[in-house]
Amino acid sequence: MKIMLVPFNPVVGDIYNNLKRMCKIIQQSAADLAVFPELSVCGYPPKDLLDKPSFIDDIRQAVSLLAQATAETGIDIIVGCVDTGIVDGKRQLYNAAAYLSGGKVQRFVHKSLLPTYDVFDEHRYFTPAESVTVLTIRGKRFGISICEDLWFETMRKYRVDPIEKLIEKNIDYLINISASPFEEGKVEKRLNLISSVGKRCGVPLLYVNQVGGNDGIIFDGGAVVVNGKGEALTQVDRFSEEALVYDTDEKYTPSTFKFPDPDDDLIEALTLGIRDYTHKTGFKTVVLGLSGGIDSALTAALAQRALGSEHVKGVSMPSRFSSEGSKTDALHLAKNLGIECFTIPIEPIFQSHLSHISPFFQTDQWDITEENMQARIRGSILMSLSNKHRWLLLTTGNKSELAVGYCTLYGDMCGGLAVIADVFKTRVYELAYALNRDREIIPESSITKPPSAELRHNQTDQDTLPDYGILDGILRLYIEEQQAVEDIVTAGYDRETVLRVVQMVDRTEYKRKQAALALKVSVKAFGEGRRIPIVQNYIPLDHCPIDSL
């Protein structure tokens, strides 16, 4: 039997075109069984679209239409979709896999483990399966699992292990259809898990993952088959819709897993995230400010990689504080990337703002007000170009800046997509060097000069912030690992610095709630997967004078 695993790239909610593309894939295949990822019919995650009865009805109609293709082609299909049922008189939704054969929907298989953490919120919508399901397809017994069902042995937060239940039913093969998001380092965990589960089952495990970007979530795709010893038999590269065809009658020589270079992997993910967000929202071209610094340079290079030079527009907006080096670096970058770059000096606009507003300041003292004014002038220019030309505005701030609020609301935070908002500053440098591996794309001086917002004379980031090596270490422990102050200090960081950084993070939550959508590439990104109240004043009790109570 030839089984085709398809890392499908759906558009959330675009049921008609998702179905149309699936039918085309089926018609061009010579497989016996085609397997599509979790919720492929409607795209993952559909969120509150699932609350619309018409949406559910359309998904079920699409599944029935797809079933007709099995009669026309003779190819059976397993596809991720939504099923409904009645429990205690109430309609229930199930995250499901539909088995289609002979022109009909033969069976629905329901997902057992529903993740409700980070960006996942499946208990909000779905009901878990009451039992596991084995399908008999062409004389073989296939255990069907859906994404999280595979992760029981690593999560240990669920009461039921659906894989163990399937093993008890004497299956010949285990299939897992997934919509598993990308995050740095996860591919190794995922492949090791697949190997472990394959070994535990003692039968071949066939895995296929959704590919593509939906909102800020990036799915890295990929398909792999391991044998009953957990050894890789065959796999395809991630970040594409390349299908894997596994022949159950063919003898495969076990091989080792392909583990990617971490820098290249992150670059691929961000590139895919930009491309899909831009195209799926109906844009063709993006615009961004080019300061001559490393953040805007990296963002521009990733955008050019995703969309091509003709679809990336840069804008240099120098002020009295912009160094000649920064102005030159911005133009040098644009030339290296082959992108068009406009130069719009902000000094006349800045002077006009000052002349009209400063009489109401009641002080001549220069402070952050005048600095933010420059950032907001730049934001206004970029938004005006975005509106006029229908270009998507990319913001260029990194995770370190966003974490501590080193950014300006309605200024450099303006935009529709925050490309590197989940990438720490130290990681930005590493990616810049990776992009420059074969030739200079990002000017060397943009990488080596001290980082600066250039909103006042001789300004550097370290006038306000700790060294980025120290800052990022603290932020990683506090935000991504949820560690307490004392634990971070024990890890080797200065107490006063830790307290200062933690306070900056906590008091700038209001900024992040108004930030552009960020591409998620870490275990804990700012956005819907991190839900911290704006109005809160949590102080650990061991920092409080409890004795005075």
The annotation places the binding site at 117, 180, 186, 289-296, 372, 396, 401, 511
Tell the burial category of 260 from Cβ atoms under 10 Å away from its Cβ (0-12, 13-18, 19+).
middle
Residue for token pair 């009461």: 159
Report d(CA 175, CA 149) in Å as an integer. Answer: 11
State the amino acid at position 53 in one-letter form: P
Report d(CA 471, CA 428) in Å as an integer. Answer: 14
Q: In this structure, what are the phi and psi dihedrals at residue 427, rounded to the nearest 5 degrees?
A: -75, -30
- Answer for the pair 80, 8: CB distance below 8 angstroms, yes or no: no
Binding-site residues for L-glutamine sit at 117, 180, 186
* Known active-site residue 341: no
The residues pairing with 177 across neighbouring beta strands, listed in sequence order, are: 146, 208
SS3 for 341-403 is: EEECCCHHHHHHHHHHHHHHCCCCCCCHHHHHHHHHHHHHHHHHHHHHHCCEEEECCCHHHHH
Of residues 42, 81, 122, 147, which has the active-site annotation?
147
Report d(CA 338, CA 304) in Å as an integer. Answer: 9
Neighbours of 352 (CB within 10 A): 11
Residue 100 C-alpha from the chain's centroid: 31
- Answer for the pair 290, 330: CB distance below 8 angstroms, yes or no: yes
Length of the chain equals 549
The Cβ-side half-sphere exposure at 493, using a 13 Å CA radius, reads: 29
Between strands 90-101 and 104-110, the pairing is antiparallel
Residue for token pair 């998620």: 520
Q: In this structure, what are the phi and psi dihedrals at residue 64, rounded to the nearest 5 degrees?
A: -65, -40
- Structural Rg of the chain based on CA atoms: 26
* Known active-site residue 111: yes
Residue for token pair 């080096």: 325
* Known active-site residue 38: yes
CA distances from 542 to 485, 486, 491, 497, 547 (A): 11, 10, 18, 18, 11
Q: Token pair of 410, please?
A: 């309605």
Of residues 111, 313, 399, 425, which has the active-site annotation?
111
* Omega prior to 45 cis, within 30 of 0: yes
> 414 Cβ partners below 8 Å, 6+ apart?
379, 380, 382, 383, 393, 395, 516
- Catalytic annotation, residues: 38, 111, 147
